[in-house]
Amino acid sequence: MQISQLRLSHQKIVGEPIAQVEEVVRWHGAMQAQLYHSALWAIGLRTLQKKMIDVEQAITERKIVRTWPMRGTIHFIPATDIKWMLSLTASRELSKFARRFTRLELDEQTLARCEQILMKILNQTCVSRPNILEALESEGIQTKQQRGYTILSYFSHIGLICQGPVDGNQPTFTLLDQWIPHAIEKSREEALITLVERYFQSHGPATIKDFVWWSGLTVKDTRNAIDQLGSTLISEKFSGIEYWGTSTDQEIAEKSLARVQLLPAFDEYLLGYKERSAVITKENAAKVVPGNNGMFLPTLVIDGQISGIWKPIKRKQSIEIQIIPFVPINSYWTEIEYAANEYCQFIQSNLSSIEIQY
């Protein structure tokens, strides 16, 4: 079996989907969520019901939560796991704030004032980001030039606040302890073992370097956790490189698999690894991130390989799917139509057409 096929199975992109939204997120450990609606589709395509309203309901019901658990990047994580995950991974990011604070002139006194303001305005409620920034400005705290973003990111990293349901197109924030009063606590060792197991069960086959990049943790920590997990994980060499995954790799991979997928921007299938050559060529990788600007486009996957980019275009009462393929796709037309309709059903719209742009 190829690495790409095994990853498709383990990430629940193909094969048996997971019934509940929160279990999809728990299975993966964390799922990238820079772009809100892309992240909803990332979860939805792996879920049995496949409806956007189901994913958003899980947010409203406090089953999953959007915050900054690792790499200074926004993810969806299981709500009850937020405290132990922040303690394990986000704390490593805190040292990076010092230089930013100096550049933005955010001293301890200013941050203390910000904390007091946030505690007051977010008490028992969710407030949109623009309204929070307006409240800070009204108290004499400037929020332009990334100051506002840094303030919200910092207090999310230390576990004072987290995101709630969106308000229109704007994220909201609320007090973490009030929003998730029954968050689970774990020892560092237990938290580390849990995250390592979840990563390799969902992202395997993957290397230790992949996990270290994804989590921001150390090689030493990762190896220690793998040792503790014992036979739960197995290693296998591909082209002389050691990869880790679960002991059910072959059983899962032998199931009937769909051949074409329309994955969202920033999906874990691509972003969940340091080394991505198993699913995309170097030439095509540059097309997925035009100008190397850090903005990953939605991808067309054929037989495990990233074979194009796509985007949905809103029409009056329907959706047009535009695809720019990297390879000939005529023989996959039926599968592409199916994938496009699946996406439209998720957002509860109709597919008007599929436009191919070479």
Looking at residue 211, which CATH number applies to its domain? 1.10.10.10
Please check whether residues 93 and 19 belong to one and the same domain. yes
Is 326 contained in some domain? yes
pLDDT exceeds cutoff 90 at 313: yes
Distance CA(355)–CA(296), nearest Å, equals 21
- Band (211; pLDDT cuts 50, 70, 90): very high
- Of how many residues is the chain composed? 358
Whole-number pLDDT of residue 248: 56
- Band (45; pLDDT cuts 50, 70, 90): very high
Whole-number pLDDT of residue 230: 95
> Range of 59's domain?
3-179
Last residue of a domain, one of 234, 253, 272: 253
Please check whether residues 43 and 170 belong to one and the same domain. yes
DSSP-derived 3-state class of residue 139: coil
Please check whether residues 300 and 203 belong to one and the same domain. no
Over the stretch 260-282, which tens digit does the pLDDT of each residue have?
999 999 999 999 999 999 999 99
Please check whether residues 138 and 92 belong to one and the same domain. yes
* Choice between 257 and 220, residue whose per-residue pLDDT is larger: 220
Number of structural domains found in the chain:
3
CA 225 vs CA 165, 207, 220, 242: distances in Å: 34, 14, 9, 16
Distance CA(136)–CA(117), nearest Å, equals 7
Please check whether residues 293 and 144 belong to one and the same domain. no
Please check whether residues 76 and 198 belong to one and the same domain. no
Distance CA(249)–CA(34), nearest Å, equals 30
Please check whether residues 166 and 198 belong to one and the same domain. no
Mean pLDDT estimate for the chain: 95
Strand order in the sheet with 127-128: 127-128, 172-175, 161-163
Distance CA(268)–CA(266), nearest Å, equals 7
Average pLDDT over residues 109-126: 98
Please check whether residues 92 and 211 belong to one and the same domain. no
Please check whether residues 351 and 245 belong to one and the same domain. no
Is 112 contained in some domain? yes
Please check whether residues 282 and 347 belong to one and the same domain. yes
Whole-number pLDDT of residue 97: 94
Last residue of a domain, one of 238, 253, 268: 253
Please check whether residues 195 and 172 belong to one and the same domain. no
**Which candidate, 39, 40, 41, 46, places its Cα nearest to that of 13?**
46
Q: Report the phi/psi class of residue 271: left, alpha or beta, with left for phi > 0 and alpha for psi in -120 to 50.
A: alpha
The token duo for 126 is: 């969710």
Please check whether residues 279 and 240 belong to one and the same domain. no
Partners of 324 in the β-ladder: 309
| Segments in the chain forming alpha helices (H) | 3-10, 21-28, 36-44, 52-60, 82-88, 97-104, 108-121, 129-138, 147-157, 176-179, 188-203, 208-215, 219-229, 249-253, 268-271, 282-288, 333-346
Over the stretch 66-110, which tens digit does the pLDDT of each residue have?
999 999 999 999 999 999 999 999 878 898 899 999 999 999 999
Is 184 contained in some domain? no
Last residue of a domain, one of 231, 253, 275: 253
Whole-number pLDDT of residue 221: 97
Whole-number pLDDT of residue 277: 96
pLDDT over 90, % of the chain:
91
Over the stretch 314-342, which tens digit does the pLDDT of each residue have?
998 999 999 999 999 999 999 999 999 99
CA 226 vs CA 67, 122, 336: distances in Å: 26, 40, 39
Range of lowest pLDDT (189-198, 238-247, 316-325, 339-348): 238-247
Distance CA(94)–CA(69), nearest Å, equals 11
Is 284 contained in some domain? yes
Amino acid found at 29 = G
Is 185 contained in some domain? no
* Choice between 248 and 163, residue whose per-residue pLDDT is larger: 163
pLDDT exceeds cutoff 70 at 251: no
Is 105 contained in some domain? yes
